[in-house]
């Protein structure tokens, strides 16, 4: 009885495009940040070495470009990798380099 509006596919297309753009920006930011930090800081944090984070964030960016984000399990994993770097490793690197926390 109630049919789908005619603009449904257009709206879902643009929402997916926005999500893809946001994910790509976040992953580019994580990749550039991981690439430009000193390797010694990663050792001080005690996490994955610099080369590992550069490979993980670069691979995440590649997966997002190839498979997209919406409706793709690999795209969701790629965004999660970039967010883990930005929300967990990046603050720890900042604390290790600056010597004082974010508080």
- Report yes or no: 27 and 57 within 8 Å, Cβ to Cβ: yes
Q: pLDDT in tens for each of the 103 residues of the chain?
A: 456 677 888 888 898 899 999 999 999 999 999 999 888 888 888 778 999 999 999 999 998 888 877 777 888 899 999 999 999 999 888 887 776 655 4
Cα angle 70-72-78, degrees, rounded to a multiple of 5: 95
User: How far is residue 96's CA from residue 13's CA, in Å, rounded to a whole number?
Assistant: 42
pTM: 0.83
Q: Name the residue ranges covered by the structural domains of the chain.
A: 23-97
Residues 6+ positions from 94 with CB-CB distance below 8 Å = 102
């Amino acid at each position: 009885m109630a049919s789908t509006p005619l603009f449904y596919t257009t709206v879902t297309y643009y929402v997916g495009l926005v999500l893809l753009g946001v994910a790509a920006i976040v992953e580019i930011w994580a990749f550039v940040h991981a690439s430009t930090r000193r390797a010694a800081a990663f050792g001080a944090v005690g996490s994955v070495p610099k080369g590992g984070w550069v490979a993980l964030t670069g691979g995440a960016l590649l997966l997002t470009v190839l498979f997209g984000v919406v409706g793709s399990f690999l795209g969701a994993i790629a965004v999660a990798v970039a967010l883990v770097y930005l929300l967990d490793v990046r603050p720890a690197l900042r604390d290790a380099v600056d010597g004082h926390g974010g508080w």
